[in-house]
Amino acid sequence: MDGVGAFSLLLSGDPALFAIVRLSLFVTLSAVMLAAAFGLPFGAFVALTQFRGRGGVIVALNALMGLPPVVVGLLVFLALSRSGPLGFLGLLFTPGAMIIAQAILIAPIIAALTRQVIEDLWVEYCDEFTAMDVSPLGRVAALLWDGRFSLVTIFLAGFGRAAAEVGAVMIVGGNIDGFTRVMTTTIALETSKGNLPLAIGLGLVLIAIVVAVNTLAWSVRQWSERHAG
């Protein structure tokens, strides 16, 4: 089996490879959702609120965008291990653990970029809001809505980062065949087996998937921009 083999496997609907691709998408999309649930409101909050230590929070958020996946993986591993504080959940070596690790990895990216987008918009709308006496929650909602196209790009940044990482999911997922094996861990495994052409082929499939997701997002944006007039 060679690099072309990976594509023909995918096209011919090889169930094992298909399951791996599906799990990759499932884990990463779930992680993006989870990270957005925390990152969006937190980013918006920091953008629109004045509080002591705000500068420190912004620096910390920006710095955490560079969190090393392997460190996140290790921390989540220690927390979810049977000997760790959350061991009773039985989540280690499950897709759930992988979602948590990736969500922690990308939540700072989403929060930091959201903060920037909302803050820039705020400068534009500041006077209007003050004049119309809009409530804080209303401001957040209005700004998030107005910045929705930029927010899509933020999601994609998070998605790309999570889809590409191998360090965290390898540690907390365990790369279990048919259960927690995703694209990146498969590539690492095939590389270690000396199956370099197949590893490259799988890498190209992964890149193609990321391109496809981005194309979809771009199309949706084009479409909605046209229809939002």
Q: Return residues touching other proteins (CB under 8 A).
A: 30, 33-34, 36-37, 40-41, 81-84, 87, 89-96, 99-100, 103, 137, 140-141, 144, 174-177, 179, 189, 191-196
Q: How far is the CB of 55 from other proteins (least distance, A)?
A: 26
Least Cα distance to 40 among 110, 117, 116 occurs for 110
| Element housing 191 (H / E) | helix 183-192
Backbone φ and ψ for 179, nearest 5 degrees, come out as -135, -50
Q: How far is the CB of 112 from other proteins (least distance, A)?
A: 18
Which residue, 33 or 63, is less far from other proteins as judged by CB?
33
Which residue, 7 or 26, is less far from other proteins as judged by CB?
26
Which residue, 130 or 138, is less far from other proteins as judged by CB?
138
Q: Are 147 and 121 in contact (CB under 8 A)?
A: yes
Residue 97 burial (C-beta neighbours within 10 Å; 0-12, 13-18, 19+)? buried
Which residue, 126 or 176, is less far from other proteins as judged by CB?
176
Residues 6 or more apart in contact with residue 10 via CB below 8 angstroms: 17, 18, 21, 205
Which residue, 183 or 199, is less far from other proteins as judged by CB?
199
Q: How far is the CB of 178 from other proteins (least distance, A)?
A: 8
How far is residue 157's CA from residue 32's CA, in Å, rounded to a whole number?
A: 10
Which residue, 18 or 59, is less far from other proteins as judged by CB?
18
| Element housing 67 (H / E) | none
Q: Coil, strand, or helix at residue 178?
A: coil
Q: How far is the CB of 56 from other proteins (least distance, A)?
A: 25
Q: How far is the CB of 104 from other proteins (least distance, A)?
A: 12
Distance spanning both ends of the chain, measured CA to CA: 50
Q: Are 18 and 10 in contact (CB under 8 A)?
A: yes
Q: How far is the CB of 100 from other proteins (least distance, A)?
A: 7
